[in-house]
Amino acid sequence: MQSNHLLASLSDDVRERVLPQLEYVSLPLGKVLYESGDTLRYVYFPTDAIISLLYVMEDGSSAEISVVGNEGVVGVALFMGGESTTSRAIVQSAGGAFRLPGQWIKDEFNRHGEMMNLLLRYTQSLITQMAQTAVCNRHHSIDQQLCRWLLLSLDRLPGNQLTMTQELIANMLGVRREGVTQAAGKLQRLGIINYNRGHITVLDRPYLEKLCCECYAVVKKEAERLLPYLHRVNT
């Protein structure tokens, strides 16, 4: 439970109720946790995996609306009462997660106690990320969007390496692959990243943050305000 910051922040009493219900699952790259319109059966608390929430158009094109990693939970529609959502949840970076049955998380949420308060605050931070992503995709360059995406991903991984092809990044950002190729090439020439056959190593994070638009900082600041455990982890 310690490897997911949201679970780790729970009090001992709540953890004792949660622990027997948790099931650890491996999440390979590209696994779809749910499709648009599916009735959700589980919520997932990632440990070292990153999950992308995508909006998929009728023609099959898609764009990422948010990412979830070890700071949060996938499947907020379950405890918010919607049971399903219009987005697709897909594993962006392979790893693992703890999952909880949907009925259990709803029952715990309806206690109107600590778990409800924490999940609502997390949901607000997720909405902030979604809104800022929409603004970023509309007003900022592909270069800046790539910087934001890399930083959000890094915050949810233990090291400075990501495994992701340019084609997948393009699908996440909803842009042409050529645009991602050019943007990644610029970062590599500046010595900020090293990119080789789907493996990205961030060599200079401060420079990456300097080149990024304000969207990353807005999302990070709001998440740390709403979720005190993130502030403790990052300081």
> Are 133 and 36 contained in the same domain?
yes
What's the number of domains the chain is made of? 2
Q: Which CATH number belongs to the domain containing residue 120 in this structure?
A: 2.60.120.10
Query: Which pLDDT value is given to residue 98?
Result: 97
Q: Which CATH number belongs to the domain containing residue 149 in this structure?
A: 1.10.10.10
> Are 29 and 126 contained in the same domain?
yes
Distance, in Å, from the CA atom of 111 to the CA atom of 203, rounded to the nearest integer, reads: 46
pTM: 0.89
> Are 190 and 227 contained in the same domain?
no
Neighbours of 18 (CB within 10 A): 19
Distance, in Å, from the CA atom of 167 to the CA atom of 108, rounded to the nearest integer, reads: 40
Distance, in Å, from the CA atom of 39 to the CA atom of 199, rounded to the nearest integer, reads: 34
> Are 129 and 16 contained in the same domain?
yes
Query: Which pLDDT value is given to residue 233?
Result: 55
pLDDT in tens, the chain (235 residues): 678 999 999 999 998 999 999 999 999 988 999 998 888 999 999 999 999 999 888 887 778 889 999 999 999 989 988 888 888 999 988 999 999 999 999 999 988 889 999 999 999 999 999 999 988 888 989 899 999 989 999 999 888 888 877 777 777 777 787 888 888 889 999 999 998 877 889 999 999 999 999 999 999 999 998 887 765 555 5
Cβ distance 1 to 7 under 8 Å?
A: yes
> Are 98 and 113 contained in the same domain?
yes
Its domain, for residue 94, covers 5-137+218-234
Query: Which pLDDT value is given to residue 235?
Result: 52
Q: Note the pLDDT tens digit of each residue in 87-118.
A: 899 998 899 999 999 999 999 998 888 999 99
Distance, in Å, from the CA atom of 162 to the CA atom of 150, rounded to the nearest integer, reads: 9
Query: Which pLDDT value is given to residue 20?
Result: 93
Query: Which pLDDT value is given to residue 201?
Result: 93
